[in-house]
Amino acid sequence: MKAPRSGGGWKAIKYSLKLANRVGWWKLWKSMRSKNACKTCAVGMGGQKGGMVNEAGLFPEVCKKSFQAMASDMQPSVSSEFFAKNTLSQLQSLSSRKLEYSGRLTEPLLLSKGEEHYRPISWDKAIDLVVDRLKAAGADRSFFYASGRSSNEAGFLFQMLSRLMGTNYVNNCSFYCHQASGVGLGSSIGTGAGTIRLEDLDHTDLYILIGANPSSNHPRLMKAFMEIRRRGGKVIVINPVKELGLVNFKVPSDVRSLLFGSSIASMYVQPHIGGDMALLTGIAKEVLEQGVHDSDFIAKHTENFEAFQEQVKNTSWDEVIKHSGVNRQTIKKIADQYISAKNVVIGWCMGITHHLHGTNNVQSIVNVSLLRGMVGRRKAGLMPIRGHSNVQGLGSVGVTPGMKQAMLERFESQLNIKVPTTPGYDTMACMEASHRGEIDFAFCLGGNLFGSNPDTKYALEAMNRIKTVLYLSTTLNTGHVWGTGEETLILPVLPRDEEPQSTTQESMFSYVRMSDGGKSRFEGPRSEVSILAAIGQKLFADDNRIDWKKLESHTAIRELIAELIPGYEGMKETIQSNKEFHVTGRAFEEYQFPTENGKAKFHAIPFPKLPKEENQIRLMTARSEGQFNSVVYDDEDIYRGQERRDVILMNKTDIERLGFKPDQRVTVKSEAGEMQYILVREFDIRAGNALMYYPEANVLVPHTVDPLSKTPGFKSVWITITSEEPAVA
């Protein structure tokens, strides 16, 4: 399969038209133009300004992934015969793509202990079963997990259920993606969210994109990069993999770009996987050696600079070059552009966070920004590129193991709720407790917890040891057929554009949108809020602290959010007039950092140790252009020119050095597991490194985590590769 010359463009348009043919042109158009927030990435669009419109009022703001998610929700329902015909073993033989396209779930399903088929049950029986099992499990043997698909209203009720039960074992999917960003930013500048708004990108003259591939995962950001280049700005891409869309992209909504393409990267740097901290230290070292750091800003608005300066000074250039894989001349070229720029934004994604030193990576990014006062003011700042449409909102409304102090105090004073003081479980801690046989009930609000986990064998063992696993889902995924407990229950839910009441979502720019909802396409599915409220009414029937019946109303939930969630006071105007708003305290001005002393903090960080084995290669797992998170919509990865997913992409010199040939079958092995019959494919990736597809390659990823953020190292796996073919005598 041959890759195109540019990302985006006519192929993306053709694909969208193909989806329209599948579900109906007018139906898809009406759905996309409805006043509902985008269902995919957290760049965000839609809401009260209209579908395919962003917070700046620009139209058309849409991408292929938006259409994919909408078309999936518009597919026919799964027939009742489907589950009667297919045993669990048969369902396990289906790929992620085939499960997704089996249809919309429309009735509650139960897989009882010892049975081989899911069978339909009534809603009343399903709710009663959930309540009975939660009561039997109790607070210490239950955990709650949410994906970023859910609304703020559902997330708020979800975490309320856990707190009233008496447990902090509640978390969201960010622990397997951007938690290192939250922890790293929080420890450095006092907030875990990005510091810029969308309009700040209009003034950026240098954007440093590190460890991210928005051309595949956040396509609408490509227009912002195109505009930076057009007005004479620069975009430095730092990525071990040469990604087509980051070199040239045809923005479909811009005629000139669509016809001729747009150059994205003004400079493309390919470090080693995991070499980002060393590269960032090298940039800082060059800035300090030239003496062009902002001494006045540093003295007035930061702390711990001396320790950081000493750490950088004592780190030799040889160490920087060895660990980063980037020569000094290139590092100097990056630093010189950084020094000469006026408004710099640094953006990153999971190429930074998916390491056992992911938090330190983020702290290193902040260090570089602080050196020249590029954070703490408008038009410049830090931009974690969040992957799911409301994962940031879920964190804001408390779907986290540890409640922020200000929120905790409001809960206790206004609701008379004593929030549990026991330590909460992050996502991996929940899996480890399950593996030890200490969990009886797992409550999954959307997502695919099994498919998102590293160390697939370990995850399978962990989930199979849980007594009851509950999923709230719109379609089938691999978690429903592999991540099963002794009994498994699936409750069909409505997507946000079918909600009977309006909902809210928060973008990565801390902009809270309101989705109107709409008419349900099928009979049977229920809104997440109605399900959670029904569970709450029965679970806490003798507890009058919360009126769960009242909380069937989204307006009533928003009133509580406005009162209890710091920064969400703007929700009051949303209740009155549907007004959307920015969460306060996120986009900094005048260097006012929300830390205890009002200052940002430098961190002195030593490099992580490299393994000694010379024959090992560094592996990163990555998503394809045809998928969203763990959902695989298409087996093809158009931008990388791959027609299948059972491949390992390697540098030509590594293929030759190891004695392989293109399309040769190999075994890939790590400390966690191995994959056989994988095809070797040549690709432009830094020598000594390789790429395989997530979630299939999760079997190779150990379940160890970054000690600070508890995030697994999906992009820092050391592997060996051996031929499947017998050696020739």
| CATH number reported for the structural domain that contains residue 254 in this entry | 3.40.228.10
CB 508 within 8 A of CB 44: yes
The predicted-structure confidence for 272-317, as pLDDT tens digits, reads as follows 999 999 999 999 999 999 999 999 999 999 999 999 999 999 999 9
Considering the domain architecture, whether residues 378 and 421 belong to the same structural domain is answered as no
Considering the domain architecture, whether residues 45 and 70 belong to the same structural domain is answered as yes
- Burial group, residue 540, by CB count within 10 angstroms (0-12, 13-18, 19+): middle
Considering the domain architecture, whether residues 536 and 428 belong to the same structural domain is answered as yes
What is the H or E stretch that residue 429 is in?
Answer: helix 427-435
Residue 685 has what DSSP assignment? Answer: B
Considering the domain architecture, whether residues 110 and 208 belong to the same structural domain is answered as no
Which tokens hold the place of 396?
């804001």
Considering the domain architecture, whether residues 431 and 496 belong to the same structural domain is answered as yes
DSSP-based three-state secondary structure for 238: strand
Which tokens hold the place of 296?
């006045």
Q: Using alpha carbons only, what angle is made at residue 302 by residues 296 and 305, rounded to the nearest 5 degrees? A: 90
Predicted local confidence at residue 510, as pLDDT: 95
Cα 142 from Cα 135, distance rounded (Å): 10
Task: Specify whether the backbone of 398 is left (phi greater than 0), alpha (psi in -120 to 50) or beta.
Answer: left
Q: How many domains are contained in the chain?
A: 4
- Burial group, residue 688, by CB count within 10 angstroms (0-12, 13-18, 19+): middle
Alpha-carbon torsion (443, 444, 450, 452), positive or negative: negative
Considering the domain architecture, whether residues 230 and 87 belong to the same structural domain is answered as no
Considering the domain architecture, whether residues 237 and 328 belong to the same structural domain is answered as yes
CB 380 within 8 A of CB 344: yes
**What residue type is 693 in one-letter code?**
Y
Nearest Cα neighbor of 628 from 32, 39, 99 is 39
* Alpha-carbon distance values, 265 to 208, 243, 248, 257, 519 (Å): 10, 10, 8, 15, 43
Which tokens hold the place of 169?
């074992």
Cα 394 from Cα 401, distance rounded (Å): 12
Residue 608 belongs to a domain: no
Ramachandran angles phi, psi of 409, nearest 5°: -65, -40
Cα 507 from Cα 394, distance rounded (Å): 11
Q: Which of 74, 97, 132 is a domain's end point? A: 74
Cα 486 from Cα 608, distance rounded (Å): 41
Residue 196 belongs to a domain: yes
Residue 599 belongs to a domain: no
Considering the domain architecture, whether residues 111 and 126 belong to the same structural domain is answered as yes
Q: Which of 317, 350, 385 is a domain's end point? A: 385
- Residue segments in the chain with a per-residue pLDDT below the cut of 50: 727-729
600-601 and 617-622 as β-strands: parallel, antiparallel, unpaired?
A: unpaired
Considering the domain architecture, whether residues 424 and 352 belong to the same structural domain is answered as no
Residue 469 belongs to a domain: yes
Nearest Cα neighbor of 476 from 125, 77, 115, 174 is 77
Residue 398 belongs to a domain: yes
Q: Which of 74, 103, 131 is a domain's end point? A: 74
Residue 610 belongs to a domain: no
Nearest Cα neighbor of 251 from 16, 15, 9 is 9
Considering the domain architecture, whether residues 526 and 568 belong to the same structural domain is answered as yes
Predicted local confidence at residue 729, as pLDDT: 40
Nearest Cα neighbor of 655 from 619, 682, 691 is 682
Nearest Cα neighbor of 345 from 309, 305, 385, 312 is 385
Long-range interactions of 656-660: CB distance < 8 A, separation 24+ = 658/721, 659/723, 660/721, 660/723
CATH number of the domain within which 484 lies: 3.40.50.740
Considering the domain architecture, whether residues 267 and 149 belong to the same structural domain is answered as no
Q: Using alpha carbons only, what angle is made at residue 148 by residues 146 and 150, rounded to the nearest 5 degrees? A: 75
What is the domain range of residue 142? 80-165+390-582
Predicted local confidence at residue 116, as pLDDT: 96
The predicted-structure confidence for 208-246, as pLDDT tens digits, reads as follows 999 999 999 999 999 999 999 999 999 999 999 999 999
Which tokens hold the place of 163?
């707190």
Residue 104 has what DSSP assignment? Answer: B
Residue 601 belongs to a domain: no
Considering the domain architecture, whether residues 310 and 376 belong to the same structural domain is answered as yes
Nearest Cα neighbor of 198 from 57, 65, 396, 63 is 57
Residue 587 belongs to a domain: no
> Going along 59-136, which residue ranges are E strands?
109-111, 119-120
